[in-house]
Structure 1
């Protein structure tokens, strides 16, 4: 036979396909080989030769499965591998709706919901009880009309007067047969109803006689019940008896049709084209639209090529399309799924008109290791900022609530008597003055003396970080297995590893200062990189986020960011991180101005405190509330003996001498020393600057070695095993040390960055 594997029906050529013939069994005999040859179906042969066979169970079988004799298999298109039933079950579980409602998953949210329901019921009950005399008067005035309606209705029913028009119609038509039939039906009804009415009247008469002989209280009760019944019967149709205690707002229920209509009006090309081509499936709802807190939530897959950022740019138009205030419309993305997954939340109440009360107003004390309650998201859920092992950066335009956010974080710090507050307010407005009485270090002002004080604090803080690194390193592994400060370690006062929180409000005045700015930026970067695990927290707030006022080494390493209203993309990404604006996290969408003028002051994007970025309105503390918290914190610290430094009336500590670690290390290394042990370098540094490095040299063993290792980490210099000999001679060995070229490279790289930054 002629081989036709490259043609179909002998006419149209088909591209050659790589085929593999499995010769596991003898080939099928050709019909021309002899009279006893096996006859093969031509249909089966054609199916096997077809270059694109239809999917069959045999073709989808795994490669190691059974294969028919002589079967031809496409090796360039392997079948789908068998799927594990557990994988399929997991995928199905992801689509299941939650058994427990969203508002019951959080204990705080459940309590808040039940509290609201209880307050609502109490208010409605009180409102109606207060109007009981009014309702009684209405019933009394309507009772005569009710009596007339009742008598009139009973007469009509008893004598079947409702059927009178039908009987008259048969008389007019001169239809005697129908009239006689209706008359007989009416007579039978009336005979029965007369007995029923008579029995009812007799019963009513007996009841009246019983009540007449009853005590006075029972008579009045019966009279009140009769008046109430007659009043209800006599009520006008357009005037209800009971007034509504709460008039509901007219909030339209969010439906898929409304969402599609709103998205179609945004003039986004991708949405418009998709709706024109396939209106039924252009916008997909991956879950039913449900209530989520005080609003509606819709999970949407946007058309192909459309991202959440495209919708965020049109938030104001989306507000107009949904007929809701701008403060009720909060679209956000879910990049963990894909960039086209839109989570649209439409609230019942404008967030800008909501005042968030701080839970710390009534707190007797607080534990910073549990985080600090910061504010609420649009759904009304409390958002907590995890402070320990983090640093915080807050930025915004002036007047957008930055200082109020700082006040809330500071309140949580001062209410923990074990925390040591270092507060610096470099605007001179006195916004943090209520906390002065509990601060270890405090300054308020914009003059050079105040900025110099803040710079000294960073120098002291840098030295404290290095001291803590040595102490933590020396702790036994059973006490500190993870080598980081915990609540148990912080409570050991002898170790000096309690939480230390340094706040610098209006930090741009420090980092942009011609005298103190450069060194302050380096110190702050060092503290941020190294102090995280040592219980040292830096909180920076600025209203001018640019490269001069906020060094990139700081903005790139801060773990928690809160950005209120900013002017543009550059400022947005300086605070929230690179590509935040591109990913739809845009603090430019907030409306400038205070809430009483329709602005979003106090509302911003919080990144790093929760798994996904969130819109949060920070709690508001006015001066009076701040003073109450400060008074409570003062009494708490005084009772615990924790008033230190400025709060105890001590003079400001002298700043630690300034130094350049890399330059000092390079100075103590000889030109022919390519590698050297850490302990040798530390001893030489102590001889060079005893006032700075003397405490380093006093440590012994691994702690002394680790001191230099930790100090060089922020500069990117790594230590490792190097060969060396003791200074006085002796047997060589491998110990932890540094490479001279690494130090010189770090100096060159740092100076290069400084030069480029100055030039730009």
Structure 2
């Protein structure tokens, strides 16, 4: 084949929607090479696009035969159709998608939330009603002002009519022409005045005649119409006679001193914080106009490159000073879903620390815990609900920061649900939860050893209850329990015994740090938190001393919802809110002692960490809720335990599961079936393990598997033979070395902790 020279190897059709055609030409031999090589030149799509001029000399070469199933080769001079979207097309689509994502919403922010819309409309309605009432109450005052100003208005009206009729407003100009001895200008102005006066005299005369006729007509009508006409005349004359410096109508609402948030104010405030990279020359970009958002202003800002939202949050006090607002009005937060430099600055009209959040439960007839519990408001006044089912909650703070008040609010929602069993333990001894005593299945208030022992017994009973529920849930049919977790339909069937059970332990550090009960209580609590979530068992812990001794790490690491009020430092902050919370800008150290009581960071209840002020229930309000709850439960016939006057349930005897398993395993047994271990444990301690052995088949095996999970021991398939001989088989079992290793590690940690 003869090479045909050409200036381009790409051809783009005139129609931009048509596919790109590429012509592959033979490769030219290098300089100095002999003959023409048969190879083809490799042409990139980008190069073909850059070469726009088609060549009429390009001749396609015949296609050789290709074996069946093999990809057809690209031949010299062949026109190739490119129908697949290229990188440019994908980039264009990605850019369009990005633009669509960042479009401003058509519906305003306050209309996108039903709560915000109702709050805004309610405020507007209350404002309009107040202004209307204020002005109506002052109607007699305004009438008196009009009557006093009417004579002055009449004089102004008559004087104005005379000046207009005789063109007296042009008199100074005519006098100026006389003084300048300009006869031509004076004559011209005089003729203009005479023309105006002739017309205006007729108009004024017609107006006076009309007014006279109207007066005669009014004089002949009933007295009510006469008074109405007089009132209208006085009102008109009063308006005409008003002084320039004294308006007729008073202001119903005096404007506040809070200035509107503007971009200049925000930039000025940010650039004086002393943050590196954030100065007067820095590029602060507003991604959306500053708008009203609830009772305050919202500014969405992209900080300069290299500056993070955490840098600004660290300077919250200086930011409040720069904005000339109280600290409780300034709430900067980030939106890491976009990038770490996206700042959402919300500046409220009122100081959050001076706001008392009223609980919706104060007037609620009943409540459903499966819908969560209304907990408090965020700085923008929006209600925040905390989910309860399938969660465990940890609350921590320094003393006096509103921790117990937060617990009271959660307890109110719990007792108002008649299907929920309440176990409340207040280990401070001040009686903060005493109003709820009448509806609790288990209740204690005190700081003595007996009270702490009672709480420890509750955790032991709960552990046993978790194991019972795990076995009971397995027996439920799939149509009733498809997800293997407690639902509202299951909870309503009281006979199943799978209703929600919520255990509150306030001041839990007094339990977990106790020399006698602490270790076992910590193990039980960790077991309950890990396994009770799907079984309707909920643990709510509150502490004012978050450290490793008072709050075991196995507990703090596994709770799903955390609420941290004011704490002293980073260690306490991360103990409550989770590892790296302080580093990520979630810092409860920013709250002021006493001033921000009740305000804290809520993590896990919402997609992002949120500042929340918990609703406040005083003792009378708490008592009212407890009374309603008692009446509901009495009517439903669900009062039990302490509320029904029953004696405390006896707890299972104390035992060491790992030591007991090690005792029943022979030295030569490396692996043993679960069911065999359970039978031996039942022989060792019938009062403890007897109920385990009474279960059938898989339930007995699962009992031991679940009991070993808190210790990190996993069960699996092991080979064994039935007691007394028989055919060997693979069944779920344990490895003896795993038990011994767990005992060694546990005892080593206890020894280290005691020595340190």
TM-score normalised to the size of structure 1? 0.88
Task: Tell me, in whole angstroms, the C-alpha distance in 1 between the residues paired with 2:663 and 2:525.
Answer: 24
Task: Decide whether the 8 Å contact of 2:24 with 2:76 is kept in 1.
Answer: no
Task: Decide whether the 8 Å contact of 1:146 with 1:231 is kept in 2.
Answer: yes
Task: Tell me, in whole angstroms, the C-alpha distance in 2 between the residues paired with 1:527 and 1:582.
Answer: 30
Please name the residue that 1:318 is paired with. 319
**Unpaired stretches in structure 2, ≥5 consecutive residues:** 1-21, 37-42, 53-71, 79-85
Task: Tell me, in whole angstroms, the C-alpha distance in 2 between the residues paired with 1:312 and 1:444.
Answer: 40
Please name the residue that 1:600 is paired with. 596
Task: Decide whether the 8 Å contact of 1:545 with 1:571 is kept in 2.
Answer: yes
Task: Decide whether the 8 Å contact of 2:523 with 2:710 is kept in 1.
Answer: no
Please name the residue that 2:704 is paired with. 708
Task: Decide whether the 8 Å contact of 1:434 with 1:630 is kept in 2.
Answer: yes
Task: Tell me, in whole angstroms, the C-alpha distance in 1 between the residues paired with 2:217 and 2:378.
Answer: 65
Quote the offset at 1:54 in angstroms: 11
Matched, 1:742 2:738: yes
Structure 2 residue matching 1:683: 3-state secondary structure: helix
Please name the residue that 1:461 is paired with. 462
Deviations 1:603-622 (A, max 9, x none): 11000000000000000000
Structure 1 residue matching 2:278: 3-state secondary structure: helix
Task: Tell me, in whole angstroms, the C-alpha distance in 1 between the residues paired with 2:478 and 2:660.
Answer: 32
Quote the offset at 1:204 in angstroms: 1.4
Matched, 1:445 2:446: yes
Task: Decide whether the 8 Å contact of 1:474 with 1:703 is kept in 2.
Answer: no
Quote the offset at 1:634 in angstroms: 0.6
Structure 1 residue matching 2:127: 3-state secondary structure: helix
When residues 404 and 148 of structure 1 are mapped into structure 2, their CA distance, relative to the original with a 3 A threshold, is same
Please name the residue that 1:583 is paired with. 584
Task: Tell me, in whole angstroms, the C-alpha distance in 2 between the residues paired with 1:320 and 1:623.
Answer: 37
Quote the offset at 1:732 in angstroms: 2.2
Matched, 1:663 2:663: no
TM-score normalised to the size of structure 2? 0.89
Residue 650 (structure 1) aligned to one of 626, 646, 653? 646
Quote the offset at 1:28 in angstroms: 4.4
Structure 1 residue matching 2:443: 3-state secondary structure: strand
Task: Tell me, in whole angstroms, the C-alpha distance in 2 between the residues paired with 1:751 and 1:187.
Answer: 119
Deviations 1:4-60 (A, max 9, x none): xxxxxxxxxxxxxxxxxx9953234889999xx9xxxxxxxxxx9xxxx99994499
Counterparts of residues 542-691 of structure 1 (less than 5 Å): 542-593=543-594, 599-691=595-687
Quote the offset at 1:569 in angstroms: 0.9
Please name the residue that 2:18 is paired with. none
Task: Tell me, in whole angstroms, the C-alpha distance in 1 between the residues paired with 2:750 and 2:609.
Answer: 33
Quote the offset at 1:177 in angstroms: 1.7
Aligned residues: 704
Task: Tell me, in whole angstroms, the C-alpha distance in 1 between the residues paired with 2:150 and 2:76.
Answer: 94
Matched, 1:348 2:349: yes
Please name the residue that 1:422 is paired with. 423
**Unpaired stretches in structure 1, ≥5 consecutive residues:** 1-21, 38-47, 71-78, 594-598
Quote the offset at 1:290 in angstroms: 1.8
Task: Decide whether the 8 Å contact of 1:328 with 1:348 is kept in 2.
Answer: yes
Task: Decide whether the 8 Å contact of 2:502 with 2:538 is kept in 1.
Answer: yes
Counterparts of residues 182-581 of structure 1 (less than 5 Å): 182-272=189-279, 275-276=280-281, 279=282, 282-581=283-582
Quote the offset at 1:216 in angstroms: 1.0
Please name the residue that 1:141 is paired with. 148
Deviations 1:544-600 (A, max 9, x none): 11111111111111111111111111111111111111111111111111xxxxx11
Task: Decide whether the 8 Å contact of 1:374 with 1:408 is kept in 2.
Answer: yes
Quote the offset at 1:420 in angstroms: 0.6
Matched, 1:150 2:157: yes
Matched, 1:114 2:121: yes
Please name the residue that 1:693 is paired with. 689
When residues 68 and 555 of structure 1 are mapped into structure 2, their CA distance, relative to the original with a 3 A threshold, is farther
Task: Decide whether the 8 Å contact of 2:145 with 2:238 is kept in 1.
Answer: yes
Task: Tell me, in whole angstroms, the C-alpha distance in 1 between the residues paired with 2:154 and 2:572.
Answer: 76
When residues 28 and 176 of structure 1 are mapped into structure 2, their CA distance, relative to the original with a 3 A threshold, is farther
When residues 645 and 318 of structure 1 are mapped into structure 2, their CA distance, relative to the original with a 3 A threshold, is same
Quote the offset at 1:178 in angstroms: 1.7
Task: Decide whether the 8 Å contact of 1:328 with 1:350 is kept in 2.
Answer: yes
Quote the offset at 1:292 in angstroms: 1.2
Task: Tell me, in whole angstroms, the C-alpha distance in 2 between the residues paired with 1:460 and 1:160.
Answer: 103
Decide which moves more: 658-667 or 558-567: 658-667
Task: Decide whether the 8 Å contact of 1:27 with 1:69 is kept in 2.
Answer: no
When residues 499 and 65 of structure 1 are mapped into structure 2, their CA distance, relative to the original with a 3 A threshold, is farther
Task: Tell me, in whole angstroms, the C-alpha distance in 1 between the residues paired with 2:712 and 2:492.
Answer: 33
RMSD: 2.7
Structure 1 residue matching 2:666: 3-state secondary structure: coil
Task: Decide whether the 8 Å contact of 1:393 with 1:561 is kept in 2.
Answer: yes
Task: Tell me, in whole angstroms, the C-alpha distance in 2 between the residues paired with 1:134 and 1:56.
Answer: 87
